[in-house]
Structure 1
Amino acid sequence: MRYLTPRHRQRLLLVVGAAFIVSVFVLMTLDPDTTTDIPGPRELHGHGIDVPNHQPQSRASVISLPVLNKKQLGNYESRIPPPERDGPGEFGRAVKVELGEGSKYRKSIREFGFNVELSDEISLDRVVPDIRDPECKYWHYPEKLPNASVVIAFSNEGFSTLMRTVHSVINTSPPNLLAEVVMVDDMSDKEHLGKKLEDYIKRDRFQGKVRLVRNTKREGLARSRTNGAMAARGQVVVFLDAHCECSVNWLPPLLAEIAYSRTTVVCPTVDVIKAEDLSYSPQGELARGAFDWAFWYKRIPVDYSDTMKRIGMKYGSQAYDAPAMAGGLFAMDRSYFIELGTYDPGLFIWGGENFEISFKIWMCGGQLKFVPCSRVGHIYRRGVPYKYPVVDGEVSIVDRNFMRVAEVWLDEYKEHFYTFKPRLRGKSCGDISEQVAFRRKHCPKSFKWFMENVAFDSLELFPTPPPNRAWGEFHLKGTSLCLDTMGRQTTTQLLGASNCHGYGGNQEFRLGTNGQIQFDEYCVVPSWDQTKVSMVRCRESHRKVPDRDHWSFSEEAGQIRLKRSNLCMEVVDKKEVRLRDCNSDSAEQKFEVRQVR
């Protein structure tokens, strides 16, 4: 510049300065996620909760996908071997206890749905086994990941199982990635969940990272989780059930997928903690979440190369697409959860929320993935310790929730749902106008698109049901008896008869035009020796019930006849159902179908 005249120097400096300002402006506008519009409290379905004023971490193109390097241990893997521990239940070993009818352990299972009495005898800091694919130890994740709030909703949970969940989250999460644990109490009335819990979470070991939010009225799972997300301060919300245990390095694989794409929602691989002995084991091979037309959650094995390629898998330890989640454990960008309208606030207590959020994610432009290298154990209850109320004396809470999901998201496919549940057709599921309006405004994809592009093999595995020829209770004429599952809806269990009650439940069956008699997802079939009547899952191991096990029903004769035979159902001793030679004169073979309320 010393060869330029003062006048030319001044011009050059002005040009360079202007270019610098323009460059800075362009760089600032390249990242669309620097600021995010967050709906105000009035837009959040009337929750009336102030949204914390923070912005999500900028996730520009500098964030890369995880990298697999089999020659170098992953950057979030611990270099310290797990501690040697030999207490009861350590490393997921089963603890054998007396489960006789009068034992304290059996009483505990009845009260909570799992063995809390045994849980009290196991360390809250127990270590679970590392059963990840060996490849998982060699994944390298971005150094800069969003932090997370773990939201745990509970109602009358056992103290030790609840707090073991909290201990596990804190013990296995990198401190810089765990913003907090938000516990949401849904109107518990057990003494140990009062002041004892409040004092416990103030302990120094938690370093103020555990917060307790109490609902002022019974909200149920979906609304409690929404309340927790609204109170959360982390950039990502991770929802866990209140009886979980996290495995080694579970959190970074989830956050890495969200860091790369904020509209990706991720689920860890769920392992099984057995309700009776608290042993820890894998649930099975890798699977995608799916559903049948009665809204039973299903697992589809990832077992052939074409599927792996279609769902984005190059390695067996890589995250992959799934149509639906089980719903208990998942993570998503907090602001994205709000943008999707959170959960439908009309979903009460439990049921259907997993399908609602799954359909909403896919049909509104997001993506749902399962992450094999993130593993979390979950206790599967033996029944639930609370009862589901009935709405308007007609529809159970669970069925009402399912109806809301079907009416908002399934389009013409909802007819298949009502074929499975004909009693619900024409019943009210409450006001869904807000949900319908949200979908019209924000979700351009149809359910047909979802079935063809996301759940592409579901119709092959779970075909649409044939129309119902008859449905209701199969009443033995001239008596007060009806066919009844006797609460035995498991493979090889026998069909029976009991007093008719008119409320459906275990006495509500469907006879399809194809000749199948079904109760929910179970088909009524002859026993192996064709003397009794049993129930099997209609597509056990993805094989359908053969035609020879179908039935015909004559309203005139009242007989339920096994096709291609001369065998009919007959009630014996007012409680058993047998297959006997068809006899038009036998009063024990004459049925009528009566619709239930």
Structure 2
Amino acid sequence: MVCTRKTKTLVSTCVILSGMTNIICLLYVGWVTNYIASVYVRGQEPAPDKKLEEDKGDTLKIIERLDHLENVIKQHIQEAPAKPEEAEAEPFTDSSLFAHWGQELSPEGRRMALKQFQYYGYNAYLSDRLPLDRPLPDLRPSGCRNLSFPDSLPEVSIVFIFVNEALSVLLRSIHSAIERTPPHLLKEIILVDDNSSNEELKEKLTEYVDKVNGQKPGFIKVVRHSKQEGLIRSRVSGWRVATAPVVALFDAHVEFNVGWAEPVLTRIKENRKRVISPSFDNIKYDNFEIEEYPLAAQGFDWELWCRYLNPPKAWWKLENSTAPIRSPALIGCFIVDRQYFQEIGLLDEGMEVYGGENVELGIRVWQCGGSVEVLPCSRIAHIERAHKPYTEDLTAHVRRNALRVAEVWMDEFKSHVYMAWNIPQEDSGIDIGDITARKALRKQLQCKTFRWYLVSVYPEMRMYSDIIAYGVLQNSLKTDLCLDQGPDTENVPIVYICHGMTPQNVYYTSSQQIHVGVLSPTVDDDDNRCLVDVNSRPRLIECSYAKAKRMKLNWQFSQVTAQSPQEEQEHRKWGEGPHGRRGRGQGPCGNKEAVTPGQFSRFIEHLLHVRGFT
């Protein structure tokens, strides 16, 4: 899932938990090479518990089995002959994999590394050569080390979801969970294989599970799907097998940090209606270094893509970096009371693959009497893939899921979701499936309205009740051309082949402003761009700035034509007829036509998908 991160000190766009695109992150790299031991601080150390000592012994045996399998993997790497086709691998000199890693590799080594990178979306070649028990920097706020927790906490089942994961990455996830979770708190690990085709995830993984369970029967359970069900249904599959009072649902490319479990289990013990997210750090896909992420809440935009948010003002006023962060939504991985998860309706299995289910769960929990928190003292590192080569484009699934959420939970604000996706609210042509059961669930749980949610939980969300029409603006002379915002680095609108994606989204407001491109999702983002007449030609300028400078940004629509404040003057200036045109310009995407205020009013004839907002 692509999430946008905006924090108090810096801004970056990052891929978290799903890793679909390359990332550019302006973040401090917090790589620490020395090992920081796991220390669980309590008010008073109890006398040694016999059961606890037995659990520790079992844990050590399991770790020994992991170490054994690690050696098997390394031996396999050394002995495996190069396949003939590897010599024909694609050129690797421009690959992002080698920007900060691999300069010392031989050409053959680079080919092998690139081939695995193309398959997995991360550096599996390096992962296979890293220890499973590698140390992680302790990135918790310093105050976390001084906290004490109850001796009696509920057990947790950790569920890992995967499809075609690199075996070493999966084993490192398991190893870190075992090593950094107190043994008396970790009841079991559940592996959900969503129909992987990777052979090493079958025989080798089964061999490992059998050896571990030989020492501790039933400790690792494996669920294998006969067909790919997607992340949403896979998580529900894992929950159904879990037996501990608390269930932690994670991707299988994570590494748990020291002391992650106690803060989570304490908060859930205090209130079982809390759904908890840890704070996430990044495992870089190329060199596997750990990159520290700032503390953040988790929210979403009107397309229901997840995004990071600044912690709320109330949290900052506490001046306590260890305090739980109130969060409007979740980004995917979370920990929840097992029975409460069922009571609240699990995940919506009517959704497809993944995307939007994390937002839907957060909205549902809040509206139906629960709460969502991010815990600064519980930190998990997660690999952000450069790409997901074995997964189709997920946009269609995310769009469908978003509309499903809108229809069930968002009341009159569902129009914002249709608007953000540039889809007509009536006759959208998208089958969102049967939502009768989900609406019945909402009624059964006596949930609050989405307006309450926006006011009480997510006041940062920007509302657009003043938009009276939206769609694209088409050229009347050549209807396959549309108004486009053009390159992000420029403020000159262009005419470009119609594709209906975000750069061509147009929104017309009751104050006669025309917004072009993406709409700012929160009140903290003041970057909506308006079409403005600056005498020489139209410009796209931040609406608030244009208004403050009293620029001409009002456009009057009369039936099927638009008229700028200088329409008649432009007609006379350019001597154009009713369909006059002006010269062409060049850009990075090919030929694009420049737009003048006069011609803008003539080639724009209608708004598509006109819908009223209440």
3-state DSSP class of the match of 2:517? strand
CA distance change for structure 1 residues 453 and 111 in 2, over 3 Å: closer, same or farther?
Answer: same
Q: Are the counterparts in 2 of residues 130 and 248 from structure 1 also a CA contact under 8 Å?
A: yes
| 2:184 counterpart of 1:184 | no
Partners of 1:292 and 1:554 in 2: CA distance: 29
Post-superposition shift, 1:148? 0.5
The answer to whether the Cα contact below 8 Å between 1:498 and 1:575 also exists between their aligned partners in 2 is no
2:298 aligned residue: 289
Q: What SS does the corresponding residue of 1:423 show, helix, strand or coil? A: coil
AA partner of residue 238 (structure 2) = G
CA shift in 2, pair 1:170/1:415, >3 Å:
same
Code of the residue aligned with 1:441 in structure 2: it is Q
Residues of 1 paired with 2:177 and 2:582: CA distance?
A: 54
- Classify 1:507/1:317 alpha carbon distance in 2 versus 1 (closer, same or farther; 3 Å): closer
User: How do 1:380-529 and structure 2 match up within 5 A?
Assistant: 380-388=384-392, 396-423=396-423, 425-426=425-426, 427=428, 428-455=431-458, 457-459=459-461, 462-464=462-464, 466-467=466-467, 469-472=469-472, 474-475=474-475, 477-478=477-478, 480-482=480-482, 499-500=497-498, 504-505=500-501, 508-513=504-509, 514-519=513-518
Cα RMSD between the aligned structures? 4.2
- Aligned residue number for residue 246 of structure 2: 236
Q: Which of the residues 585, 592, 610 maps onto 1:572?
A: 585
Deviation at 1:478, TM superposition (A): 3.4
- 3-state SS of paired residue (2:514): coil
Residue of structure 1 in register with 2:18 after alignment: none
Q: Which amino acid aligns with 2:380?
A: V
Structure 1 residue 225 displacement after superposition: 0.3
Structure 1 Cα separation of the partners of residues 356 and 465 of structure 2: 20
Q: How many percent of aligned residue pairs carry the same amino acid?
A: 29
Instruction: Give a deviation string over 1:440-469, Cα, whole Å, max 9, x none.
Output: 0113322222222222x324xx33364254
1:186-244 deviations in Å (ceiling 9; x for gaps): 11112222222222333449845222101223211111101100101211000111211
Amino acid at match of 1:232: A
Separation in 2, partners of 1:293, 1:545: 23
Give the SS at the match of 1:258: helix
**Structure 1: which 4+ aligned runs deviate by more than 6 Å?**
490-497, 529-536, 553-570
Deviates more, 1:504-513 or 1:289-298: 504-513
Query: 1:386: Cα distance to partner?
Result: 4.1
Which residue in 1 is equivalent to 2:272? 262
* Alpha-carbon displacement from aligned partner over 1:63-88 (angstroms, at most 9, x marks no partner): xxxxxxxxx9722999xxxxxxxxxx
For 1:534 and 1:339, locate their aligned partners in 2 and report how far apart those are by CA, in whole Å.
Answer: 52
What code does the residue aligned with 1:242 have? Answer: A
Is residue 155 of structure 2 the alignment partner of residue 147 of structure 1?
A: yes
More deviation, 413-422/351-360: 413-422
CA–CA distance in structure 1, aligned partners of residues 184 and 191 of structure 2 = 20
Amino acid at match of 1:325: L
Structure ranking higher on relative contact order (CA contacts 8 Å, 6+ apart): 2
Identify the match of residue 326 of structure 2 among 315, 321, 329: 321
User: Structure 1 residues 236 and 326 mapped into 2: Cα distance closer, same or farther (>3 Å)?
Assistant: same
Q: CA deviation at 1:363?
A: 1.5
Q: How far apart are the structure 2 equivalents of 1:333 and 1:135?
A: 26
Shift of 1:519: 3.9
Q: 1:448 to 1:557 in 2, by over 3 A?
A: closer
- Aligned with 1:331 (options 304, 324, 335): 335
Q: Greater shift after overlay, 548-557 or 227-236?
A: 548-557
May I ask how many residue pairs the two structures share in their alignment? Answer: 485
Paired position in structure 2 for 1:252 = 262
Report the Cα offset of residue 485 of structure 1.
Answer: 7.7
Offset of 1:151 from its aligned partner? 0.8
Distance 1:107 1:142, change over 3 A: same
Provide closer, same or farther for how the CA distance between residues 157 and 582 of structure 1 changes in structure 2, counting only shifts above 3 A. Answer: same
8 A Cα contact 1:172 1:249, kept in partner: yes
> How far is the alpha carbon of 1:516 from its aligned partner?
1.1
Hey, what does 2:286 align to over in structure 1?
276
Conserved? CA contact 1:474–1:509, under 8 Å: no
User: If you compute each CA radius of gyration, which structure gives the higher value, 1 or 2?
Assistant: 1
Q: TM-score, normalised by structure 2?
A: 0.68
Change (3 A) 1:204 1:534: farther
Contact kept, 8 Å, 1:551 with 1:563, in 2: the verdict is: no
SS at match of 1:451: helix
**1:127 offset after TM fit, Å?**
1.5
Partners of 2:132 and 2:161 lie apart in 1 by 19
C-alpha separation between the residues in 2 aligned to 1:244 and 1:194? 20
- Classify 1:158/1:195 alpha carbon distance in 2 versus 1 (closer, same or farther; 3 Å): same
Match for residue 146 of structure 2 among 124, 138, 158: 138
Q: TM-score, normalised by structure 1?
A: 0.70
Amino acid at match of 2:478: G
**Letter in structure 1 aligned against 2:152:** K
Aligned to 1:96, which of 101, 105, 117? Answer: 101
Contact 2:322/2:376, CA 8 A, preserved across alignment:
yes
CA distance in 2, matches of 1:336, 1:242: 24
Aligned to 2:357: 353
CA distance in 2, matches of 1:246, 1:179: 16
- In 1, Cα distance between the equivalents of 2:582 and 2:206? 59
Contact 1:532 1:578 in 2 (8 A): no
Q: Equivalents in 1 of 2:174, 2:116: separation in Å?
A: 21
